[in-house]
Amino acid sequence: MGTHGYAAPEYIMTGHLTSASDVYSFGVVLLELLTGRKSVDKTRPHREQSLVEWAKPILKNPRKLLSRLMDPRLEGQYPEMGAQKAAALAYQCLSHSPKLRPKMNDVINVLEPLKDLEDSIQIGTFLFSVLGDSDLERDSEKKGSGNGYYKQRREVHEGRIKSPKSRVIYSKNSLNENLRKRLDNGLK
């Protein structure tokens, strides 16, 4: 018998494997990728233990309910259009009727362009403030610890690392974005 959670309904009923059975199983794998869940998870509430049974109502309208379907660990950092197309494809692959499932060539034709899909993710600049030298000196003087943490830190790092002049640190993403813009404009 097929692997529980991946076996197509007709295989469970008849014991006969077809290429459509493989497409169904692929749909389960695709669903696992989208959701970050296992095909069967006994630790979940009863109605959510079967990934396919839980996801099918959501897959009927992936545009409206996509956020409920997607792996929350992705934190929304995925191309929405690509996720919608992959979810719609998973829904087709999981059709109860083998005749309504796409052929594997059609699956490839849908997935292939998704790898080149441009991310339309808006990544904001990540900033956080860092206490500068003068702030640390003031804090250490206020606490009356003239030989405190700051002076020890300064001795350890003296000659190797200069204290930051800026009180802001930019994330790697914002720096890369800024560099990309400058390169596009001829490093102006």
Domain boundaries, the chain: 9-116, 127-184
Q: How far apart are CA 187 and CA 175, in angstroms?
A: 14
Asked if residue 39 has pLDDT above 50, the reply is yes
Residues ≥6 apart with Cβ < 8 Å to 89? 27, 30, 102, 107, 110, 111
The reported pTM is 0.62
Taking only the tens place, the pLDDT of each residue in 70-108 is: 999 998 888 888 999 999 999 999 999 999 999 999 999
**CATH fold label, 9-116:** Transferase(Phosphotransferase); domain 1 (1.10.510)
